[in-house]
A and B are shown apart, each in its own frame.
Chain A
Amino acid sequence: MKLNSNYDLISATPLPGGHASLWISDALAQEAATAIDNGTGVTTPDAQGTPVPGTIVPGMAVTLNSSGYWELATSPTLGTPALPILIGFVHGGDDDFDGAFTGKPVVLCGFAEFITDQFTGSSFPPGTPLTVAAGQFVAKTSASSTLQVVGFVGNRGLANGKLHVVFVPTTR
């Protein structure tokens, strides 16, 4: 490779269970970035010195905003003028100890299967397309809807309050 090339392959090495995903772990959650700026809130020390946990939990859908921070994702209605957005799901939130300390969720973008309790609705037949709203997975039932799809309901469907998601990032 030419030594003055500006090309670099920088994707993080995937771990078992998410080999088809990008494991993005070096971006702050928006709520942590805001708290750092304000000096209080998520990831900053509380009155005793303990880092404050955040609200982004594993199994939520998130997107990168224009500042480069993660925030809860809502599928856009595609077509003029809305553009598709980058959507991933949270593997390590900012709610747990190390997430509260770093303020950086571990987000997987790419093909994967997982179980989550972060959904809105009660009917999720296997194979149903899924969109997201405020980080929650929602069944897409209208054929005319142009909401951006993020995956499909897996073969286990919805059982015991847990949804089987086959995450298939699309731009449609």
Chain B
Amino acid sequence: MYNTETVQANATLLNQKFVNMLSSGNTKLAEEAGTAFIRSIVRQEAAVRMVLPPQPLQDDEIDRDVDSDEPRKIIEKEPDSSATYVQFDGTPRARWFRGKRYVVYFGKTQSDLFTKSKFKLMTYQNDIRKILADNSVKDLADQEDLYFRRTCLTLINRNAANQRTQVGAFTNAAFVKGFQALDNRRRPIGKMLMTNSLYREAMNLPATLVGESIARKHYEEGIDKEEKLWGIPVITTAKTDIYNPRECFVFSPQNFLGNFFLLQDATLFIEQRADIITFFSYAAPGIGIGNSESMQQIIFDQVPSAS
């Protein structure tokens, strides 16, 4: 879903299929028009939004700076504290407390600026603009995932000995090892993120490991309806060009991890000047990881054999 901004000189000049979709909300017709296209790849919403639910910010929630007019959001972190066990005449040490903070900065994701003469549009039987508009919003989502994964890897690489778990095959034991790494750092386990391709290997889990009923269910229904593994919610993504198909991220819940703010969610801007129609999509997200040890990467070295 996305918002729409329109600078419309004369709606009657626009392609009727597109106008119907944008102006009268007749999405059914537009969808029918769109489905006649041969699709090239599976496009998806951003997986990061399932890990860190985006939170829209209003003007008065943005933090200002005396030297810049760029928006930012300052987040306070939980202060350290401690206790001790003493005899009855013992007294506590004074503690002038302070809490740490980190800053979330923002950027803009944007699609290409799609431009076309309305006369050339007449040669398209399907609403090519609807497809481009829908896909461009998903392309923005790809950028969110790209930056999110890059940031995760940067943080994990700094502490790889603890935050990267190298295992062989997709087995219970492999995941246990990854989960225990988070447990040992006193971080809770919230969600897992992996590609559909890797998740599919759950179908290989034998009855001797997961029980006869689950193995039978996987055999009969596949795993597309499964939303959890070992009780932990799994976010799956088709984006094998962004996420390594041999990796699984385990994240703590959002309040242990970081923030995803939106100055503006994905918006489709459309403009017509004379016979030239232009449109593009943009959004203004900001993602920050305040607790870098609240994530674990599990890498599966053993690629399943074709047999």
**A residues within 8 Å of B by Cβ?**
1, 10, 12-13, 36, 39-40, 44-45, 48-51, 96-98, 100-102
Q: Could you mark each residue 90-109 of chain B with 1 if its beta carbon is under 8 Å from any beta carbon of chain A, else 0?
A: 00000000001111011110
7 contacts between A and B (CB under 8 A): A10-B112, A45-B102, A45-B288, A50-B103, A96-B70, A97-B103, A101-B105
Closest to A40 in B: B158
Closest to B100 in A: A48
Closest to A92 in B: B70
Binds A, one of B11-19, B50-58, B147-155, B197-205: B147-155
B292 within 8 A of A: yes
**B residues within 8 Å of A by Cβ?**
65, 68, 70-72, 77, 100-103, 105-108, 112-113, 120, 150-151, 153-155, 157-158, 258, 286, 288-292
Shortest Cβ distance from A152 into chain B, in angstroms? 30
Say yes or no: A45 contacts B154, CB within 8 Å: yes
Report chain A residues within 8 Å CB of B291: 49
Say yes or no: B70 contacts A39, CB within 8 Å: no
Distance, CA A79 to CA B113, complexed state (A): 39
Interface majority SS on B: helix, strand, loop or mixed?
Answer: mixed
Say yes or no: A98 contacts B154, CB within 8 Å: no
Pick from B102, B105, B108: contact of A100, CB under 8 Å:
B105
Which 5 residue pairs across A and B have the least CB separation, nearest first? A49-B102, A101-B105, A97-B70, A97-B105, A102-B107
Report chain B residues within 8 Å CB of A12: 113
Distance, CA A36 to CA B157, complexed state (A): 11
Distance, CA A100 to CA B103, complexed state (A): 11
Say yes or no: B105 contacts A98, CB within 8 Å: yes
Given contacts A98-B106, A100-B105, 8 further A-B contacts (CB under 8 A): A45-B102, A49-B103, A49-B290, A50-B105, A97-B68, A97-B70, A97-B103, A102-B107
Q: With A48-B101, A49-B102 given, is the CB distance from A101 to B286 under 8 Å?
A: yes
Q: With A39-B158, A40-B158, A97-B105 given, is the CB distance from A48 to B290 under 8 Å?
A: yes
